[in-house]
Amino acid sequence: MFTGIIEELGTVLELAPRLAGARLRVRCSTVLSDLTEGASIAVNGVCLTALGITADSFVADLAPETLQRSNLRDLAAGSRVNLERPVTSATRLSGHIVQGHVDATGVVESIDDLGVGNYWLKVRIPQTLNRYLVEKGSIAIDGISLTIAAINDSIVGVTVIPHTMTQTTLGSAKPGSRVNIEVDVLAKHVEKLIISSNPPAS
């Protein structure tokens, strides 16, 4: 489990296709301080397993489903990625509960400068995810915990503060960029409970 508070911007060294899926190598430093072989790591909000750890990088294998559902397939050498280690029992939950299980990708519609380093980000998301989103609720965009400020049909609007713009991949996003979307898992559980307690009439 993660919180959506990005710890470091890593740099992709290689995305190597395989017969099934691909292998990703990322250069980084901060997250390596206690990263161990087989541990979880979130890359752009996708929960992966860290392997091949060196003094300045780690490797992760990407399953075909991961490539199909996320924007990791768009990566190339030099791409920047958001990195976060999983929470511990002593970690403050500063963002919200993020599983690292990306639901789909969205597309950046616009990024408008609000002044003093703040931006208004609008992302078009798949219509099927609309029912899990509420104003002032949480959403993870490329693994970043953000608060939904506006919803208009399939367009979600969020305010991005200066720190987030400079310390995450949103600083290089532009209209047309694909971003990973993970909705609040609690909303999914509530939906299932409601449906199961109110079965359709036969």
Would you call 70 a catalytic residue per the annotation?
no
Exactly one of 2, 105, 140, 173 is catalytic; name it. 2
Give the 3-state secondary structure of residue 175. Answer: coil
Exactly one of 30, 101, 128, 149 is catalytic; name it. 101
Exactly one of 11, 39, 40, 154 is catalytic; name it. 40
Would you call 96 a catalytic residue per the annotation?
no
Task: Supply φ then ψ for residue 6, to 5 degrees.
Answer: -70, 135
Exactly one of 49, 94, 166, 172 is catalytic; name it. 49
Exactly one of 29, 91, 147, 166 is catalytic; name it. 147
Residue 190: Cβ within 10 Å count: 12
Exactly one of 47, 50, 60, 140 is catalytic; name it. 47
Would you call 49 a catalytic residue per the annotation?
yes
Contacts for 200 with CB less than 8 Å, ≥ 6 apart = none
Would you call 147 a catalytic residue per the annotation?
yes
Would you call 101 a catalytic residue per the annotation?
yes
Exactly one of 16, 20, 30, 63 is catalytic; name it. 63
Catalytic residues: 2, 40, 47, 49, 63, 101, 147
